[in-house]
Amino acid sequence: MANSKSADSKSNKNSNSARRLSFIIVLGAFIIATVYLLTPHNAKMEEVAVSDVIARANDENGDIAKITVSGSELQITLKGKDYATQVSRKDSSGTLYEQGLVNKCENKTGDELKTCQSKYPVVEYVEPSNFWDHFWDIAIIVLPAIALMIFFFWMMKQAQSMNSQSMGFGKAKAKLYGPDKKRVKFDDVAGNESAKQDLAEVVDFLKNPKKYEKLGAKIPRGVLLAGEPGTGKTLMARAVAGEANVPFFSISGSEFAEMFVGVGASRVRDLFSKAKKNAPSIIFIDEIDAVAHKRDARGGAGREDEQTLNQILVEMDGFDNDSGVIVMAATNRVDMLDKALLRPGRFDRHVNVTLPERKDRLEILKVHFKNKPVEKDVDLNALAKKTAGSSGADLANIANEAAITAAREGHKSITNNDLTEAFERVAIGPQRKSKVMTDEERKITAYHEAGHAVVGHVLPDSDPVHKITIIPRGSTGGVTWFLPPEDRSYKNIYELKDVLARAMGGRIAEKIIFGDDAITTGASSDLKNVAELSKDMIVSEGMGKNTRNLVFPSEATGYYTISTGKPYSEKTAEEIDAEIKKLTEEAAKRAEAVLKANKAVLDKVAAALLEKETLEESDISPLMKGASLPTAAKLH
Ligand code: ADP
Ligand code: MG
Ligand code: ZN
């Protein structure tokens, strides 16, 4: 964050007092120098009457050696002394000469002068001293002092930054967003109303702790924000601090990971003690799963993490109820967290931050387009519709890409085309117009994409085809977009099987048109998607034919490790593999049935693609006229 500052409060205090001290030193030096230069050297001078001075000056045996006249002041140096010890202030009546003070030795030279001077005082007139006469004298003393101070500061700064890099192991690198900084508010977080509601309560705790204490309510200590990456958890935590207007100490779990043994724990201690000193305040541990994963889940990899985690637990248990510190944490993986962390008195409040629904996506887009110039007809709604499954961060990214695209195209404001380009760019990658494709490659790509499109169009439970293009983008040669008419929370088995089949459609079309052995590497990402989805359907969703309603712990979910082995038999493992294979084969068969039955449509779509490169929804439906669903591809 540009507006964050280091919150090393201890060193802040240090440098503050150092600053104050050096200010005092400089000021002191200045005053002393001024006083020294402006006052007669002997501050305790005796005052004598002018008439007395004149009488003594004119006396052959007088005791005065020298009289220095400076403005209205006479300074008298006695015989045998080399500095003035007496002063006299001449009055305004007449000149000294008229009062009788004359330089008796004025016109004498040589020996005569000497004898005269041994009897009578030398009278000397000097300009009265004023500040500017002494400016440079003072500057000569003070400037080096200031230079020294600056050097001293620089050294301290240097030492401090070294400290935070290597010497201050135990110091938390926490960031403090002080109440005076530009703060994030709930308004900056679009959508997610239920999470905001939950957190509004936390804000109230921080603002009016008394209200709750009076009723004997325990103020929560730990709030865990859980949700997919980019859903705005970090943003939300900052908004809580912003709304409550309290200091916000934030550290990321991954920062602990790079530390030496024992350092993580001492950072935790440091962080908590700072927060307590600044209470009411918020401690925010971002990506807490990095330190607080299940203590056995990574095969003993984290002795250091374990210490850090234990220290977090110790600190949270050690809180007084009225400490006024609320600990927030965020994670993408609640299932990976150590259970000890979720116990009452620790992170016992859970706030789920979900992927935005269509309405929320529109709100988020509005937030991110707020300060960007857009054409009047720009359709954020259409973009919100297209971006099912996107997180807030994805949408922010699209908004930014749209602005960049508009700038690159030389537009004054963002157009619908910029929006579409930004969306596809974020989803797949930049267009590669310069990529040279042979006619053969273009033809293969056209049939491949047409294959996806025709299978998707014909199968009854697939989302409709939204757009097809054979303009290369990112690492793909072409893309076929399917767009759900609305956001869906669940998908049924028929829909998933249609997704598998239409994903196979590309490769199958290549096979039908160019022959069994002419298939290309263009299908590798399709096949990867098929493998992942079919595995998911069997292992996590209980959708296997022979393993219906059974789910299987997998390594990816942290249910077991290589050392503990699979928690099911070899036979079951084989069954799982067989089920996955069955799904893949079924998908290929259905795609083949559809494409063979609709070869004429496939040819038409491919030809249109070769001609126009990109087909929109309105181009696609007339081309698909006459397409039919063969019995072999029917599931129900
Ligand atoms: P997380 O911590 O959940 O991974 P972040 O809070 O870091 O996500 O979000 C990243 C960025 O995405 C934010 O800085 C913001 O620009 C944008 N963003 C995410 N969610 C929202 C939202 N609900 N409203 C507005 N912007 C959002
Ligand atoms: Mg985050
Ligand atoms: Zn494909």
pLDDT in tens, 502-522: 999 999 999 999 998 888 898
- What's the average model confidence in pLDDT over 341-350? 86
Cβ(173)–Cβ(257) below 8 Å: no
Nearest ligand to the CA of 399 is 1
Give the per-residue pLDDT at 24.
Answer: 78
Q: Cβ(231) to ligand 1 under 6 A?
A: yes
Q: Among residues 401, 421, 449, 579, which one is catalytic?
A: 449
Q: Could you tell me the distance, in angstroms and rounded to a whole number, from the CA of residue 251 to the centre of ligand 2?
A: 11
Q: Cβ(396) to ligand 1 under 6 A?
A: yes
Q: Could you tell me the distance, in angstroms and rounded to a whole number, from the CA of residue 235 to the centre of ligand 1?
A: 6
Better pLDDT: 117 or 195 = 195
Q: Cβ(367) to ligand 1 under 6 A?
A: yes
**Residue among 187, 194, 235 whose CB has most ligand 1 atoms within 8 A, to mutate:** 235
* Among candidate residues 580, 573, 533, 531, the one with its CA nearest the CA of residue 552: 573
Which bin fits 347, alpha (ψ -120 to 50), beta or left (φ > 0)? beta
Residue-wise pLDDT for 456-479, tens only, equals: 999 999 999 999 999 998 888 899
Residue-wise pLDDT for 299-325, tens only, equals: 444 566 778 888 888 888 887 766 788
Give the per-residue pLDDT at 180.
Answer: 45
Better pLDDT: 366 or 80 = 366
Which segment, 62-76, 150-164, 184-198, is predicted with the most confidence on average? 184-198
Q: Cβ(121) to ligand 1 under 6 A?
A: no
Nearest ligand to the CA of 237 is 1
Better pLDDT: 10 or 121 = 121
3-class DSSP state of 87: strand
pLDDT grade for 66, boundaries at 50, 70 and 90: confident
Angle at 611 between CA 608 and CA 616, to 5 degrees: 55
- What's the average model confidence in pLDDT over 329-344? 86
Sheet with strand 86-89: strands edge to edge:
46-47, 86-89, 73-78, 64-70, 122-126
Decide if 449 is catalytic.
yes
Q: Could you tell me the distance, in angstroms and rounded to a whole number, from the CA of residue 530 to the centre of ligand 1?
A: 30
Cis peptide before 280 (omega within 30 of 0): yes
Q: Cβ(325) to ligand 1 under 6 A?
A: no
Whether the per-residue pLDDT at 189 is higher than 90: the answer is yes
Q: Which domains does the chain have, with CATH numbers?
A: 46-128 (3.30.720.210), 175-352 (3.40.50.300), 358-427 (1.10.8.60), 439-633 (1.20.58.760)
Q: Cβ(191) to ligand 1 under 6 A?
A: yes
Percent over 70 (pLDDT), the chain: 86
Give the per-residue pLDDT at 355.
Answer: 92
Which of these ranges, 170-184, 274-288, 323-337, 404-418, has the smallest mean pLDDT?
170-184
Whether the per-residue pLDDT at 541 is higher than 70: the answer is yes
Nearest ligand to the CA of 477 is 3
* Among candidate residues 454, 423, 390, 414, the one with its CA nearest the CA of residue 592: 454
Q: Cβ(615) to ligand 1 under 6 A?
A: no
pLDDT grade for 40, boundaries at 50, 70 and 90: low
Q: Could you tell me the distance, in angstroms and rounded to a whole number, from the CA of residue 333 to the centre of ligand 1?
A: 17
Whether the per-residue pLDDT at 388 is higher than 90: the answer is no
Which DSSP letter does residue 285 get?
A: E
Q: Using CA positions, which residue lies closest to atom 18 of ligand 1? A: 392
Better pLDDT: 633 or 19 = 633
